């Protein structure tokens, strides 16, 4: 077998905001439906049903002084420390986000300069050959950044790449929309390095699809559910029922293609690290995936979850999940040498992707 470059993870980091927001935070909100009609059920009932469906009990919000590039920088610092890498040797910095830097005192998207350039400056990297750019791809953006990094490494274009996912969804959450309870803030990062190997290691395969025809606006920006909201802000809006329906049908298929492209079967998978927006939806995706391979339900520990206490932090959920496990900070979860991991995500667009990764043995 010929030796060839493989993209392997050599470091990871994450930033968990310090503000813990329990479900009780929303008890005094006034919720309206998408047509502007006040919901008749009590907030206690609304929150109880929300918890039952999503599994979310708590989420994290950034403090008022931080923006997405700040927390992306914190995650990047951790990744560099854990990799023991000279930051000046990075070939690329790719930052996945969807709304730029949104300040607490001015909730407008700011993407100029790019968040990647801002992170590079915060890291004080002097090397002009470290190319920095952003990628907006919905909640699947961080994983798409990893996929792009893999192409650079496989082609010989790059040796080391930092991929960050950072988002502050709390600043786009409509206080009068019950879906706002889903959203949270956070950042995660990994560093990929080229490694020559005769055996398949690191990223083995990946697969992406965009279902824009009829599905593009399943997640979008729009005005508050409160028709009398005093400020002309746009908020994050989601057709939850449609997203659940599409995700359950489409995500397992995308994961299956990636597994088969790697020449593997579902029984070869040790961990499924999936984007987390809804616990019930992710469990249903997991069960549907098993069915596609003609298997019964698989052990739930294969799919570790953080949504109950971290909520949905968009592009940060998957890299944060990986970092917590690899550093032994998630109870009863471990990643071992030679384990095969599935990374998968679905987000606005409607974009879905999956990647298969084998942990190097040495």
Q: DSSP readout, 175-207?
A: TTSGGGGGB-EEEEEEEEEEEEESS--EEEEEE
> With a threshold of 0.85, does the pTM exceed it?
yes
What's the mean pLDDT in 169-182?
Answer: 94
Nearest to 182 by CA among 50, 340, 322: 50
In the predicted model, is pLDDT for residue 4 greater than 90?
no
Report the C-alpha gap between 215 and 105 in whole angstroms. 33
Residue 152, phi then psi, degrees to nearest 5: -60, -45
pLDDT digits (tens, 9 = 90+) for 196-215: 988 899 999 999 999 988 88
Report the C-alpha gap between 336 and 226 in whole angstroms. 49
Residue 126's pLDDT band (boundaries 50, 70, 90)? very high
In the predicted model, is pLDDT for residue 1 greater than 60?
no
Chain mean position to CA 103:
21
Q: C-alpha angle 166/349/316, rounded to 5°?
A: 20
Q: Which residue has the tokens 């350039």?
A: 117
pLDDT digits (tens, 9 = 90+) for 295-346: 887 788 899 999 999 999 999 999 999 999 999 999 889 999 999 999 999 9
Q: Residue 64: its pLDDT value, please?
A: 95
Quick check: 355 and 258 in contact, CB under 8 A? yes
The tokens for 197 are 């190997």
Query: Average pLDDT, whole number, for the chain?
Result: 93
User: Half-sphere exposure of 138 toward its Cβ, with a 13 Å CA cutoff?
Assistant: 28
Q: Residue 2: its pLDDT value, please?
A: 60
The tokens for 204 are 């083995």
Query: Counting beta carbons within 10 angstroms of the beta carbon of residue 251, is it exposed (0 to 12), middle (13 to 18) or buried (19 or more)?
Result: buried
In percent, the amount of the chain with pLDDT more than 90 equals 79
Residue 241's pLDDT band (boundaries 50, 70, 90)? confident
Q: Which residue has the tokens 């893999």?
A: 150
Q: Residue 359: its pLDDT value, please?
A: 96
Q: Residue 217: its pLDDT value, please?
A: 85
**Mapped to the 3 state alphabet, what secondary structure does 36-103 carry?**
CCECCCCHHHHHHHHHHHHCCCEEEECCCCCCHHHHHHHHHHHHHHHHCCCHHHCCEEEEECCCEEEE
In percent, the amount of the chain with pLDDT more than 70 equals 99
Which domains, and CATH codes, for the chain? 4-197 (3.40.47.10), 202-358 (3.40.47.10)
């Amino acid at each position: 077998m010929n030796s060839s470059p493989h993209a392997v993870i050599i470091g990871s980091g994450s930033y968990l905001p310090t503000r813990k927001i329990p479900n009780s935070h929303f008890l005094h909100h006034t919720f309206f439906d998408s047509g502007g009609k006040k919901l008749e059920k009590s907030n206690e009932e609304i929150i109880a049903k929300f918890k039952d469906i999503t599994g979310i009990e708590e989420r994290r919000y950034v403090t008022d002084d931080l923006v997405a590039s700040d927390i992306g920088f914190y995650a990047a610092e951790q990744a560099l420390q854990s990799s023991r890498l000279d930051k000046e040797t990075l070939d690329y910095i790719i930052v996945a986000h969807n709304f730029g830097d949104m300040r607490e005192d001015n909730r407008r998207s700011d993407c100029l300069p790019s968040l990647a350039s801002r992170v590079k400056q915060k890291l004080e990297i002097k090397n002009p050959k470290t190319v920095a750019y952003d990628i907006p791809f919905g909640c699947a953006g961080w994983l798409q950044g990893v996929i792009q990094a893999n192409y650079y490494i496989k082609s010989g274009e790059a040796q080391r790449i930092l991929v960050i996912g950072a988002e502050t969804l709390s600043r786009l959450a409509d206080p009068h929309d019950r879906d706002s309870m889903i959203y949270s803030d956070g950042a995660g990062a990994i560093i990929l390095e080229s490694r020559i190997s005769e055996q398949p290691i690191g990223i083995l395969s990946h697969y992406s699809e965009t279902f824009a025809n009829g599905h593009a606006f399943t997640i979008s920006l729009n005005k508050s559910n409160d028709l009398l909201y005093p400020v002309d802000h746009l908020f994050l809006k989601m057709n939850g029922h449609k997203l659940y329906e599409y995700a359950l049908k489409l995500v397992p298929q995308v994961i299956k293609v990636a597994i088969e492209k790697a020449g593997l079967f579902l029984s070869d998978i040790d961990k499924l690290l999936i984007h987390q927006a809804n616990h019930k939806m992710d469990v249903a995706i997991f069960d549907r995936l098993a069915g596609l391979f003609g298997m019964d339900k698989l052990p739930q520990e294969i799919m570790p979850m953080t949504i109950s206490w971290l909520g949905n932090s968009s592009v940060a959920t998957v890299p944060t999940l990986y970092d917590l496990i690899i550093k032994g900070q998630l109870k009863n979860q471990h990643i071992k040498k030679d384990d095969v991991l599935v990374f998968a995500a679905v987000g606005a667009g409607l974009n879905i992707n999956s990647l298969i990764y084998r942990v190097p043995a040495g």
